[in-house]
Amino acid sequence: MSDSSCCKNCQPASIGKKVIMALSGLVLAGFVFGHMIGNLTVFKGAAAINEYAEFLHAHPGLIWSARTVLIISVIAHIWSGVLLTIENRIARAGGPAVEVTRRASLSSRTMPYSGVIILAFIIFHLLHYTFRTIALGGQEFGPNVYGMIVAGFSQPAVAVFYIASMILLCLHLSHGISSVFQTLGLRNERWRGRLDVLATLYGWVIALGFISIPLAVLLGRLK
């Protein structure tokens, strides 16, 4: 189309954008698993998770390689997601007056929304733990990550926002993981159902793993 020919020339094709979205999503999905496992050391006591945090900070090469890959993935994921969403809205031309959904799942239809809320969560999360510009619960910033976790989640609003974000992450992953296989051409009717189950399971494992921490704080198991 003439109105978008310039953009079309410097952009990858539709399937190219999908592949960028799939591969960057795969990196991020793998990261949240590692992050969750790291977080669960909180249940081994304050010393364990504080040591884990110190270990990470003592290896700037390790942490910055991971951060570089993550930053590139996040930018690629958001960039392709925004482009795809805008193009798809335009292509739909408003859609029919009567909207019927036969099989598109809730998670598939809410990907842009769950994505935006998860992004807002990530920004808040980084401001709290990484940049340390938001203090929660009067806890002083320092090497005591355990104290920051407990102080943060002791505030119900923070815990509820965290839990809600993790449920949205579960929703996002349940469509995303299954879509990775489709986009890379590694799916058929026989495997579709199994991969959907696998993706939903993965989403729930990640979400429940993360949610267990604010729940433990709220229930007074972590002090």
Query: Among candidates 19, 22, 21, 36, which has minimal Cα distance to 202?
Result: 36
Residue 96 interacting with another protein (CB under 8 A): yes
One character per residue 6-35, x = contact with another protein (rule: CB under 8 A): --x----xxxxxxx----------------
39 in Cβ contact with 216 (< 8 Å)? no
Interface with another protein (CB under 8 A), residue from 88, 123, 132, 160? 88
Residue 82 interacting with another protein (CB under 8 A): no
* CA within 13 Å, CB half, 195: 17
Q: Which helix (H) or strand (E) holds 40?
A: none
Is the CB of 77 or the CB of 146 nearer to another protein?
A: 77
Q: Could you give phi then psi for residue 119, rounded to 5 degrees?
A: -60, -45
Residue 91 interacting with another protein (CB under 8 A): yes
Is the CB of 19 or the CB of 218 nearer to another protein?
A: 19
Q: Which two three-digit tokens encode residue 15?
A: 């399937």
One character per residue 151-180, x = contact with another protein (rule: CB under 8 A): ------------------------x--xx-
- Coil, strand, or helix at residue 97? coil
- CB 184 to another protein: min, Å: 7
Where do runs of H (alpha helix) occur along 130-188? 145-153, 156-183
Is the CB of 154 or the CB of 178 nearer to another protein?
A: 178
**Contact positions with another protein (CB under 8 A) in 186-215:** 186-189, 192
